[in-house]
């Protein structure tokens, strides 16, 4: 077990290395992608246009020997365009199910908030149950299955905010901020070398993914750390800054994410409180709703000001709960 955990951590470092040949400063996003994949979770990536949201998702998928499909979500997209539909076969005189792009291992739902709620809801069953239902018949999705969704927080016209029920099904919401000046210079250097080419080396095979999933499941979590997870989640429900706190599903996701983080980031087969604290902001931020007065007082001209306001509350909660020793 310890050797397998270290092998997983080394594989993550290798993924960062090969993707780093083309993309600058997105190791944190790659880490959340891999952690989510290993625990059967999904990731929402938020950022202003041009911050490599789609690019890093495609690069991550390229490091795996898994099927990958991308859906560009638009206001006129129908649920059947994602999950599939029944088509009448004139030869057999029967209806046949034609599978949609959701039948893959990694689905990139680009600009998820551009499609109406009806189409957004088509992903709910897929994300939670690993299946879709069409005309009363259920179809299982391939394993592993993971949704990476992107959204632009700036535009308010022609977009549809994601409902709380859908947000709650994402294990992580990660943000891609603008890079630093030094990083932007490095971006130009890499573009001068590679252009838009993305020829990423494959790091993990399908069987590796299933093997490492079993490794993560065996990462040990003490009762004290479990109680710490619950204390953090319950504190969000009691925060005077929030209208809505985190659900029990959030506690379960935090538990799974902490195990994956211990293995992927540190090569450890047990969870410590620092693992919980590291993943807590990304697991919890999209599940919280700020009180109107807190939201107004936090307003700024920065494009990610609502996210920063939420993270401020999240950090207050982290500081308010004693860390187990």
What lies within 8 Å, CB to CB, of 162 at 6+ separation is 44, 112, 113, 120, 151
Q: Please say which residue of 197, 218, 239 terminates a domain.
A: 218
Structure tokens at 146: 């993971």
Tell whether 253 and 173 lie within a shared domain. Answer: no
Q: Please say which residue of 218, 246, 278 terminates a domain.
A: 218
How do residues 251-303 score in pLDDT, each as one tens digit?
A: 999 999 999 999 999 999 999 999 999 999 999 999 999 999 988 888 877 77
Question: Would the pTM of this model clear 0.85, i.e. be above it?
Answer: yes
For residue 184, tell me if it sits in a domain.
Answer: yes
Tell whether 236 and 286 lie within a shared domain. Answer: yes
Tell whether 205 and 252 lie within a shared domain. Answer: no
Q: Please say which residue of 218, 238, 253 terminates a domain.
A: 218
Tell me the CA distances in angstroms from 260 to 14, 106, 255, 265, 266, one per residue in order: 17, 18, 9, 8, 10
Tell whether 160 and 245 lie within a shared domain. Answer: no
For residue 85, tell me if it sits in a domain.
Answer: no
Tell whether 171 and 315 lie within a shared domain. Answer: no
Tell whether 145 and 202 lie within a shared domain. Answer: yes
Distance CA 163, CA 242 (A): 17
For residue 97, tell me if it sits in a domain.
Answer: no
Tell whether 227 and 314 lie within a shared domain. Answer: yes
Structure tokens at 8: 């997983």
Tell whether 168 and 233 lie within a shared domain. Answer: no
For residue 133, tell me if it sits in a domain.
Answer: no
How do residues 95-148 score in pLDDT, each as one tens digit?
A: 888 899 999 999 999 999 888 888 888 888 899 889 998 888 899 999 999 999
Distance CA 93, CA 105 (A): 32
* Pairing of the two strands 146-151 and 43-46: parallel
Structural domain of 143: 1-74+105-115+139-218
For residue 125, tell me if it sits in a domain.
Answer: no
Distance CA 154, CA 313 (A): 21
How many domains would you assign to the chain? 2
Tell me the CA distances in angstroms from 16 to 12, 13, 25, one per residue in order: 6, 5, 10
Tell whether 210 and 308 lie within a shared domain. Answer: no
Distance CA 18, CA 204 (A): 12
Tell whether 143 and 289 lie within a shared domain. Answer: no
Distance CA 7, CA 16 (A): 14
Asked if 110 contacts 69 with a C-beta cutoff of 8 angstroms, the reply is: no
Tell whether 214 and 247 lie within a shared domain. Answer: no
pLDDT-derived band at 306, boundaries 50, 70, 90: confident
Tell whether 21 and 153 lie within a shared domain. Answer: yes
For residue 158, tell me if it sits in a domain.
Answer: yes
């Amino acid at each position: 077990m310890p050797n397998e955990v270290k092998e997983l951590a080394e594989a993550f470092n290798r993924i960062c290395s090969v993707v780093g040949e083309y993309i600058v400063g997105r190791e944190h996003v790659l880490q959340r992608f891999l952690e989510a994949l290993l625990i059967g979770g999904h990731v929402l990536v938020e950022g202003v246009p041009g911050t490599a949201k789609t690019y890093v998702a495609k690069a991550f998928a390229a490091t795996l020997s898994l099927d990958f499909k991308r859906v560009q979500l638009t206001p006129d997209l129908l649920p059947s365009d994602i999950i599939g539909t029944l088509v009448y076969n004139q030869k057999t005189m029967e209806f046949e199910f034609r599978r949609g792009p959701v039948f893959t291992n990694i689905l990139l739902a680009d600009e998820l908030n551009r499609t109406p709620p009806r189409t957004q809801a088509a992903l709910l069953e897929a994300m939670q149950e690993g299946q879709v239902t069409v005309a009363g018949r259920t179809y299982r999705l391939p394993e592993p299955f993971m949704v990476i969704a992107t959204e632009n927080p700036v535009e308010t016209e022609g977009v549809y905010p994601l409902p709380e029920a859908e947000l709650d099904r994402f294990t992580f919401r990660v943000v891609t901020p603008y890079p630093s000046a030094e990083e932007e210079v490095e971006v130009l250097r890499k573009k001068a070398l590679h252009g838009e080419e993305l020829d990423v080396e494959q790091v993990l095979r399908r069987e590796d993914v299933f093997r490492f999933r079993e490794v993560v499941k065996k990462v040990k979590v003490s009762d004290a750390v479990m109680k710490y997870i619950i204390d953090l989640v319950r504190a969000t429900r009691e925060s005077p800054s929030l209208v809505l706190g985190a659900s029990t599903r959030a506690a379960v996701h935090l538990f799974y994410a902490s195990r994956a983080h211990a293995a992927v980031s540190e090569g450890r087969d047990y969870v410590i409180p620092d693992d919980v604290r590291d993943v807590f902001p990304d697991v919890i931020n999209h599940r919280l709703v700020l009180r109107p007065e807190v939201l107004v007082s936090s307003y700024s001209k920065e494009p990610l000001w609502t996210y920063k306001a939420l993270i401020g509350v999240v950090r207050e909660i982290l500081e308010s709960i004693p860390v187990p020793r």
